Structure 1
Amino acid sequence: MELRDTDLAVPPPGVVIVYVDEALIVADKPSGLLSMPARGEDRQDCLVARVQAQFADALPVHRLDMATSGLILLARGAEMQRRMNLAFEQRIVGKRYEALVHGDLGPDAGEIDLPLAADPQRNPHQIVDLQRGRRALTRYRVVERRGAGPDAVTRVELKPVTGRTHQLRVHLQSLGHPILGDPLYAPPASAVRHRRLHLHAAAITLIHPQRRVPLGFESAVPF
């Protein structure tokens, strides 16, 4: 159904509801907000909690890193959550991100196929691990190149085929082009200079879990 003003009499603070119907919700998460609650009383405020204050049956299906902004899906009820989880497992949900990275990223398009694993010495860091890592595949396309030398920046479109923790961030770092403002994987000066991680979930496509029709949503990139 169409999103109506009456559906959002009290919109979730800081969260834009892009779409809502009887089966799912599409929300636009700001950078700096957790997707789901974490350990600690001071880490309970999150997108899911804010949406549930308006839609009590909203359940998480996937997440974005706290520092990442953009589109995120929620299911309405346990059965819709099961169906949407299955769609993610079968990789029939399409996601497109945009990022700004340090340096002049070489080819105009390509793939990054490097396995990832948790770094046991530095939680929550992830690392490329050719022996024990799980397969991770990212496709990318250069959108724009700016500047030259140490000040060069590349805007890149990213399509993760797999969904590993910090996948896009670690894959770009592995090429020598960390994302601007990344507090975990870019040089410390980058996080000081840039006020946020320049990674945004800009588009998502899926088959409606109930009506079985294709849906697509986009979010304007804020950087």
Structure 2
Amino acid sequence: MSKIIDTFIAPPCHDKVEILYQDEHLVLINKPTGLLSLSGKNPQNIDSVHHRLVQIFPGCTLVHRLDFGTSGLMVIARNKAINAALCQQFSQRTVTKVYSALLCGHLHDNEGVIDAAIAKDPALFPLMSICEIHGKPARSDYRVVERFYHELENGSLLPLTRVHLTPQTGRTHQLRIHCQLLGHPILGCDLYGGLISPGTEHTPRLMLHASELHFTHPVSGESIKASNASPFGT
């Protein structure tokens, strides 16, 4: 099997990691777009959510990750026991994650389900692929919030659909590739066809934001329903 070489160098991220809640067991944060969740092997990719937070909360660990371009809610464990308890909730799929996104074009249906297996292919790295034979099961729900037009600098109108996406599984790039499969990629997605035409205007960030995170506090047993408004509209 050919060795995968990651040549990506993350540009500097000057936005802060916003701490929304903290106790002695866990931390809830709002991750900015353009920041790695975990530091890369390349020393130029040292800056990350974990690298920053471990300076504040020694011994903290990531329970889950968000893609480099995705912003929004993450829960961080402050010790190994809490990490194990939260990871179990994620693996048992008792955690609910809701994302806000802007999709290119106008979706026909107001809601629906995308059920398509996703596979890794070293030949396509960093892209994932839809593959029912070799892929792992992947399922995402979507619900339309608004259909509208965005006026570009050249005066043309770009049709967009604001949606809420709820992944039932947690595959790499799941929401991005599932939206591409719908024929409506996420605006600003450089991997799965969400970039607007060159010369129209500056390509925006990846318009994907983790806006809700529901889980059970592993110590108190309290039902946590965290929400964080999307920076590009609800």
Counterpart mapping for 1:1-223 below 5 A = 14-147=16-149, 151-186=158-193, 188-189=195-196, 193-223=202-232
| Distance across 2 between alignment mates of 1:13 and 1:105 | 32
Deviations, residues 7-52 of structure 1 (Å, cap 9, x unaligned): xxxxx97110011011111110000000011120001110011111
Alpha-carbon contact 1:103-1:150 (below 8 Å) kept = no
Alpha-carbon contact 1:182-1:190 (below 8 Å) kept = no
Q: TM-score, normalised by structure 1?
A: 0.90
| Distance across 1 between alignment mates of 2:167 and 2:194 | 24
Alpha-carbon contact 2:217-2:223 (below 8 Å) kept = yes
Alpha-carbon contact 1:13-1:50 (below 8 Å) kept = no
| Closer, same or farther: CA 45–190 of 1 in aligned 2, 3 Å | farther
Query: Which amino acid in structure 2 is aligned with residue 98 of structure 1?
Result: S
Unaligned runs of 5+ in 2: 1-13, 151-155
Deviation at 1:186?
Answer: 1.4
Equivalence for 1:3: none
Alpha-carbon contact 2:116-2:132 (below 8 Å) kept = yes
| Distance across 2 between alignment mates of 1:110 and 1:13 | 34
Where does structure 1 differ by over 6 angstroms across 4 or more consecutive aligned residues?
A: none
Query: Which amino acid in structure 2 is aligned with residue 101 of structure 1?
Result: L
Q: TM-score, normalised by structure 2?
A: 0.86
| Distance across 2 between alignment mates of 1:70 and 1:190 | 27
| Distance across 2 between alignment mates of 1:187 and 1:63 | 22
Deviations, residues 76-133 of structure 1 (Å, cap 9, x unaligned): 1010000010010011111100100101112101100000011332211011111111
Residue 53 of structure 1 aligns to a residue whose secondary structure is helix
Alpha-carbon contact 2:69-2:205 (below 8 Å) kept = yes
Pairs aligned (count):
212
Deviation at 1:195?
Answer: 2.3
Deviations, residues 133-177 of structure 1 (Å, cap 9, x unaligned): 100000110000013997210000000000000000000001110
| Distance across 1 between alignment mates of 2:82 and 2:169 | 22
Query: Which amino acid in structure 1 is aligned with residue 29 of structure 2?
Result: A
